Amino acid sequence: MKRRSFFQGAAVLPALPAAAQYGGAGAVASELPKLSETAPEAAADGVRTFFTSEQLATLRRLAELLVPALKERPGAVDCGAVEFLDFLLKASPAARQTLYRNGLDRLQAESQRLHKKAFAQLDAPAAGPILAPLRKPWTSAPPADPFARFLREAQDDLLQATVNSREFAQAMSRRSRSASGVNAYWLPLD
Amino acid sequence: MKETYDVLIIGSGAAGGMAAWALARGGAKCLMLDAGPLVDYDKQRVMKAVYDLPYRGFGQPGRFPHVVQASEFDANLWADEKQNPYSYSPGEQYNWVRIRAIGGKTLRWGRQSWRLSDYEFKCKDHDGHGENWPVSYSDLAPFYDRIEPMFKVSGRSEGLPQLPDGIYLNDDSRDSTCVQRFSDACKKRGITATKMRRATGTLAASSNILLPEALESGNLTLTPNAVVREITVDPKTGLANGAIFLDRRSKRVYHAKAGIVIVGASTLESTRLMLNSKSRLFPNGIANSSGTLGRYLFDQFYVKGSVIATVPEARGGKGGRGLMGGGGYVVRFRNVKEKQKNFIRGYALDFGSGFSPAARYFPLYGEALLNEMNETAGSGFSITTMGEALPLYENHVRIHPTLKDEWGIPVLHISQKYSANEHAMAKDAMEVGAQLCQDAGFQVIAQHSQMAPPGESIHELGTCRMGANPKTSVLNGWNQCHDVKNLFVVDGSSFTCGGVQNPTLTILALSLRAGEYILEQRKKGNL
């Protein structure tokens, strides 16, 4: 709770006419105190709603491997990208949900087959052969193999969820003063 | 009884806005109906960080399956696909992109402003395909001349017959080194690369350039939130006499009356409205005695990122000002002087530089990928192909037998497929684009010729085409229906063919010309 911000705003009130203080006929928006707010994602942890705990652990390891932290640049896990994708997939069309669920299960199955342990336990060299489809050149048509398609989509999604996160913006703003990711948002039309 | 207006204008975008500008200022009492609300461009928008959006910029999943242009920032601006459904057959995806608000798609258009030439207006004379327009470039040129200054179009004259020059704010800005290298590579192969020709200003919309002056005349009544259901006809005269519309929010039904009706609701909405306007006199839709209403749907196909390259000298963060940045336009060169063997017509290339290539173009992951993305940041050079799609009879829209929109109005079934001609063109464009990049010393990292689904260019055209023959067209050379002389259709649906040029400037020119023709005919007592 940003109590200090609220009281800073409230401090201007005595200088205003009484009607303005109570939002009366003479009040205009710019004279009202601006209350600072905090988005839910910055205030609390998201609750898992889509993946199983095993799938989530697999996705977390995949995120570490695909979008690791690099110098000052936070990685996907640091940016809450895994938990965000759990939320996003819950709201996504069925075909995309299936692609992700099957993709994560396939990672787990391949890990068990090759190394007899969970994908979440694999180090980078051990995961390498399983992630080989990501070393194939880009084609305009999505890969025919659903597993390869899953890896491509997961990589894009994890990158976007990372770069578009609050944590990433905060980390990068220490390096640059440019306000990247800020844009004009259209309010709902009546 | 409410007033009977001189002119009813349906739609407030480029087509409707231009007609209103001409007619209201010319003294005609006009009523304009638009399905969407009046938008306050300043109050309707607030600055937000992407991380403060509910979906981190991904957008609400499934909200816009056909509008790839919609971002989470502007999602509320685009027409809702659930309220405004349409259909297509399996395997024939059509991306219909709409805005329902005063100003229409001019609120978000790309502002590219290119004139058509007689390579388009007299296309059949060049290659024998399709039909000539019933107008020529010389008919439209005086209107282009007037519109370009209104929209403050900047550009550079080139003296090319296939892309006539206009009245421009002269763009003599210096090109970055990479753009200059690419332009030089084009020149060596006899190809012209030029500056973009685009409308300038903070906002270049109907709602700030056309409608204010039309309203100032005191002759325009602007009614937002009016979803038009059908054009009404006087059964005694066979003339249009108004339109039935519903209040978008309350769904209350109204009848607006007018002596002349102008339809400028956007290509497919206009045709949908006319097909839905059935009566004893017009059982297949108003002004459709030819049976061509809904036929000859086409657009310009897009191949987005048909070539992606990096500029080697810009790698490692060395692509500062001077070397990278800016872009341009490769003017159509195919089938202008020499004939291609495997396709007719041509394409243009839109190129840009200075961006960071996306992760998907690198066959890497993890730290190696991030390092490569860092290395190539700001060094990207890309080409998008924009090609002419042929107007074909089989590409069409029709009214869906059962599906209706939020207001109970039957919706469209859309059927458009690209032909072998377009596919051959897309492949040629990719090969030429890659060669030009290599000639310029760039490193090509990806190339393809996979066209975006029809509709995605937002340049849908045809379905209510002009023509000299009333048996094979709906409109004459004044955008006037052959069958109903007081009904005019002034948007992209009237195009006979479309070339590769973005169509808005020509829509504006046609609408201005039709508006002034109406004024003249009213004076003569012919309308």
Q: Nearest 5 degrees, angle CA A14-CA A20-CA A25?
A: 165
B295-310 pLDDT, tens digit each: 999 999 999 999 999 9
Q: Which one of A93, A139, A183 has the shortest CB-CB distance to B61?
A: A93
8 Å CB contact of A179 and B49: yes
Q: For B241-250, write each residue's pLDDT tens digit.
A: 999 999 999 9
CATH code reported for the domain at B1-42+100-109+114-150+206-297+460-527: 3.50.50.60
The pair phi, psi for residue B101, each rounded to 5°, is -165, 160
Backbone angles phi, psi at A136, to 5 degrees: -85, 145
CB–CB contact A166 B51 (8 Å):
yes
Query: 3-state DSSP call for residue B194?
Result: strand
| Token pair recorded at residue B265 | 């609701």
Yes or no, beta carbons of B77 and A186 under 8 Å apart = yes
Query: Which residues in chain A belong to E strands, given as ranges?
Result: 182-186
Determine whether the interchain pair B364/A134 forms a contact, defined as Cβ–Cβ distance below 8 Å.
Answer: yes
Of B56, B202, B362, B450, which to mutate for an interface test with A (greatest number of A Cβ within 10 Å)? Answer: B56
pLDDT of residue B109: 95
Contact yes or no for B281/B235 (Cβ under 8 A)? yes
For chain B, positions 138-177, list CB contacts with chain A under 8 A: none
CA of B370 to nearest chain A CA: how many angstroms apart? 8
Helix (H) or strand (E) holding B198, with range, is strand B198-199
Q: What is the DSSP letter of B160?
A: B
- pLDDT score at A18: 44
ipTM over 0.90: yes
Question: CA–CA separation, A33 vs B136, rounded Å?
Answer: 62
CA distance B274 to B287: 8
Q: What is the DSSP string of B102-135?
A: TTGGGGT---B-----HHHHTHHHHHS-S---SS
Cα-Cα end-to-end distance for chain B: 23
Q: What per-residue confidence (pLDDT) applies to B42?
A: 85
Both tokens of B110, joined, read 């790309």
- B426 and B342 in contact (C-beta within 8 Å)? no
Mutation site for B-interface testing, chosen from A183, A187, A190 by largest number of B Cβ within 10 Å: A183
Contact B366 A185 (CB under 8 A): no
* 8 A C-beta contact, residue B181 and residue B441: yes
pLDDT band at A3 (very low <50, low <70, confident <90, very high): very low
What residues contact B249, with CB distance under 8 A and at least 6 apart? A190, B225
State the DSSP code for B419: -
A108-127 residues touching B, CB cutoff 8 A? 124
pLDDT tens string B257-308? 999 999 999 999 999 999 999 999 999 999 999 999 999 999 999 999 999 9
Q: Which residues pair with B160 in a beta bridge?
A: B163
CA distance B384 to B196: 14
- Indicate yes or no: CB of A136 within 8 angstroms of CB of B73: no
Q: How far apart are CA B460 and CA B443, in angstroms?
A: 34
Partner B contacted by A176 (CB < 8 A):
no
pLDDT of residue A120 exceeding 90 = yes
- Which SS3 state, helix, strand or coil, does residue A121 take? helix
Give me the torsion for CA of A125, A126, A129, A134, rounded to 10°.
-60
State the Cα–Cα distance between residues B522 and B511, nearest whole angstrom.
Answer: 16
Could you tell me the CA-to-CA distances from B427 to A13, A171, B85, B95, B385 in Å, in that order? Answer: 67, 43, 33, 22, 10
- With a cut of 80, say whether residue B254 has pLDDT above it: yes
Q: Which residues of A touch B51 (CB under 8 A)?
A: 39, 41, 164-166, 168-169, 181
Mean pLDDT, all residues of chain B: 97
User: B53 and A140 in contact by Cβ < 8 A?
Assistant: no
Q: What is the pLDDT of residues B61-118, one digit of tens each?
A: 999 999 999 999 999 999 999 999 999 999 999 999 999 999 999 999 999 999 999 9
pLDDT at B363: 97
Compare all CA atoms of chain B with the CA of A128 and give the residue at the minimum distance.
B365
Concatenated DSSP letters of B432-461: HHHHHHHHTT-EEEEE---PPPTTTTS--B
For B59, phi then psi, to 5°, come to 85, 155
pLDDT at B286: 98
Q: What is the pTM of this model?
A: 0.94
pLDDT of B177 > 70? The answer is yes
Task: List, as ranges, residues 10-49 from B with C-beta within 8 Å of A.
Answer: 36-37, 39, 44-49
**pLDDT tens digits for A103-118?**
999 999 999 999 999 9
Q: Do B366 and A141 touch (CB under 8 A)?
A: no
Comparing alpha-carbon positions, the chain B residue that sits nearest to A63 is B366
Nearest Cα of chain B lies from the Cα of A132 at a distance, in angstroms, of: 9
Residue A23: is its pLDDT beyond 80?
A: no
How many whole angstroms separate alpha carbon B176 and alpha carbon B353?
A: 9
Q: Check CB contact under 8 Å for B367 and A70.
A: yes
Q: Where are the domains of chain A?
A: 3-37, 43-173
φ/ψ bin of A71: left (φ > 0), alpha (ψ from -120 to 50), beta (otherwise) = left
Is any Cβ of chain B less than 8 angstroms from the Cβ of A91? yes
**A181 with B51: Cβ contact below 8 A:** yes
